[in-house]
């Protein structure tokens, strides 16, 4: 039985980790960390957990926690994990960091986009980018996994096969993404009140969203080319879900059917990536509550572009589900353990 601790268990991603791990037969949660709710019953913070979680929220003391658990999930704001981690800690526990601290290999890029100093750049190289479908073997051996961002996961899985095959102009990529409101976190802000979000849609972080360099870095690896993109996220009045609509110029003459074969090959055997039938657009309602990413493409004969689309639950495959997928790999369990819940509709 894997003993798990969660730093930041009282945010939305943290709570989703709890939900998933409660159904995971090989893991148990030993530590519900929280900054805001220390000493309060966890089930008072999230009443869905009434009678399911009897535990009390504890502080976020990583050095003490690492003696009690086998794996620590850090579902915290940027900058926290990198200041807490140390060789001593990593020698005792595995860490799966849901923040951005270890996702970007170039520390200057991190500093410039996130506007904070990195607390432990010496561990960046060791950290494995936890996109399970691509870095499976490295993840199995990792002590420190950087769980990918929600937008990057959905964007990368939507674009990868064409980027890898060298079929799209890597400087032409435009990613127009849409996210449910849980992605904005549980902080008490006027902008996230019900009446402010409901019945509206807006773009935010235009040209400056911090997931941009993460997407660019991963796409650069896949394509072997420098990749600079436009990435525009939007806030949608719904709780969960991310939809990516990505556009790129095709650099050679290829049919939609030929492109479909590349996706089929890329995702053959991948349980959590569902490449849809021709003509079917991904919709977030069909993946809600599950670890699936639905992907499809459409060629535009008139413009010579391809539209690549992906839909995903931002809290599952975009956060907690992928984190558990990583944990499974790191501990030698079947990768889908605890992740087989079908999407909940409606």
- Give the residue numbers annotated as catalytic, written as ranges: 150
Interaction of residue 294 with a copy of itself, rule CB under 8 A: yes
Strand 293-300 to 305-312 pairing: antiparallel
Q: What angle do CA 342, 343, 344 make, to 5 degrees?
A: 115
Interaction of residue 30 with a copy of itself, rule CB under 8 A: no
Interaction of residue 278 with a copy of itself, rule CB under 8 A: no
Interaction of residue 300 with a copy of itself, rule CB under 8 A: yes
Among 51, 67, 88, 257, binds a copy of itself (CB under 8 A): 51
Residues in region 1-20 near a copy of itself by CB under 8 A: 12, 15, 19
Query: What are the C-alpha distances in Å from 341 to residues 9, 115, 134, 269, 338?
Result: 21, 38, 22, 18, 8
How buried is residue 268: exposed, middle or buried, by Cβ count under 10 Å (0-12/13-18/19+)? exposed
In contact, 149 and 100? CB cutoff 8 Å: yes
Interaction of residue 290 with a copy of itself, rule CB under 8 A: yes
Strand 174-179 to 230-235 pairing: parallel
Contacts of 302 (CB under 8 A, 6+ apart): none
Query: What are the C-alpha distances in Å from 170 to residues 140, 323, 336?
Result: 30, 28, 32
- Identify which range of 84-92, 103-111, 160-168, 282-290 contacts a copy of itself by CB under 8 A: 282-290
Among 4, 57, 145, 309, binds a copy of itself (CB under 8 A): 309
Interaction of residue 155 with a copy of itself, rule CB under 8 A: no
Residue 107: its H or E element: helix 107-114
Compute the least distance from the CB of residue 16 to a copy of itself, in Å.
9
Between CA 120 and CA 30 the distance in angstroms is: 26
Among 83, 111, 239, 337, binds a copy of itself (CB under 8 A): 239
Cβ-based nearer residue to a copy of itself, 130 or 282: 282
Interaction of residue 337 with a copy of itself, rule CB under 8 A: no
Among 1, 52, 226, 278, binds a copy of itself (CB under 8 A): 52
The DSSP code sequence of 203-264 is: E-STTT-TTHHHHHHHHHHHHTS----EEEEEE-SSSS-EEEEEEEEBSS---HHHHHHHHH
Residue 154: its H or E element: helix 150-164
Between CA 80 and CA 233 the distance in angstroms is: 24
Interaction of residue 38 with a copy of itself, rule CB under 8 A: no
Place of tokens 């030929």: 258
Cβ-based nearer residue to a copy of itself, 23 or 115: 23
Among 35, 232, 331, 337, binds a copy of itself (CB under 8 A): 232
Among 282, 318, 321, 338, binds a copy of itself (CB under 8 A): 282
Cβ-based nearer residue to a copy of itself, 91 or 207: 207
Residues in region 160-199 near a copy of itself by CB under 8 A: 171, 174, 176, 178, 180-182, 186, 188-190, 192-199
Interaction of residue 338 with a copy of itself, rule CB under 8 A: no
- Identify which range of 87-95, 110-118, 135-143, 236-244 contacts a copy of itself by CB under 8 A: 236-244
Compute the least distance from the CB of residue 159 to a copy of itself, in Å.
15
Among 200, 264, 265, 336, binds a copy of itself (CB under 8 A): 200
Contacts of 327 (CB under 8 A, 6+ apart): 2, 4, 27, 71, 73, 94, 96, 333
Cβ-based nearer residue to a copy of itself, 144 or 311: 311
Cβ-based nearer residue to a copy of itself, 116 or 341: 341
Among 31, 46, 73, 160, binds a copy of itself (CB under 8 A): 46
Asked whether the bond before 167 is cis by omega within 30 degrees of 0, the reply is no
């Amino acid at each position: 039985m894997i003993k798990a601790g969660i730093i930041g268990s009282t945010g939305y991603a943290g709570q989703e980790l709890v939900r998933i791990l409660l159904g995971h037969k090989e893991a148990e949660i030993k530590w519900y960390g929280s900054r805001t709710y220390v000493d309060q019953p966890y089930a008072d913070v999230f009443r869905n957990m009434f009678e399911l979680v009897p535990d009390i929220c504890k502080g976020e003391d990583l050095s003490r926690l690492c003696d009690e658990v086998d794996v620590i999930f850090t579902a915290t704001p940027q900058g926290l994990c990198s200041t807490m981690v140390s060789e001593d800690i990593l020698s005792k526990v595995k860490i799966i960091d849901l923040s951005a601290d270890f996702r970007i290999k170039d520390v200057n890029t991190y500093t410039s986009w996130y506007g904070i100093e990195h607390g432990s750049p010496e561990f960046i190289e060791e950290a494995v980018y936890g996109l399970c479908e691509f870095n499976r073997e490295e993840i199995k051996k990792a002590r420190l996994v950087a769980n990918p961002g929600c937008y990057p996961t959905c964007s990368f899985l939507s674009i990868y096969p064409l980027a890898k095959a060298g079929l799209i102009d890597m400087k032409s990529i435009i990613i127009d993404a849409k996210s449910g409101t849980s992605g904005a976190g549980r902080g008490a802000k006027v902008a996230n009140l019900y009446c402010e979000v409901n019945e509206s849609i807006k773009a935010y972080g235009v040209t400056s969203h911090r997931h941009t360099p993460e997407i660019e870095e991963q796409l650069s690896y896949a394509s072997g080319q420098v990749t600079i993109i436009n990435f525009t996220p939007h806030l949608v009045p719904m709780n969960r879900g991310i939809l990516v609509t990505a556009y790129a110029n095709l650099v050679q003459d290829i049919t939609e059917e030929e492109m479909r074969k590349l996706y089929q090959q890329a995702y053959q055997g991948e349980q959590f990536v569902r490449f849809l039938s021709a003509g079917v657009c991904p919709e977030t309602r069909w993946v809600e509550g599950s670890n699936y990413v639905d992907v499809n493409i459409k060629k535009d004969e008139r413009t010579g572009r391809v539209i690549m689309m992906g839909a995903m639950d931002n809290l599952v495959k975009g956060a907690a589900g992928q984190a558990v997928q990583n944990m499974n790999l790191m501990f030698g369990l079947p990768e889908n353990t605890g992740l087989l819940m079908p999407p909940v509709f409606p």
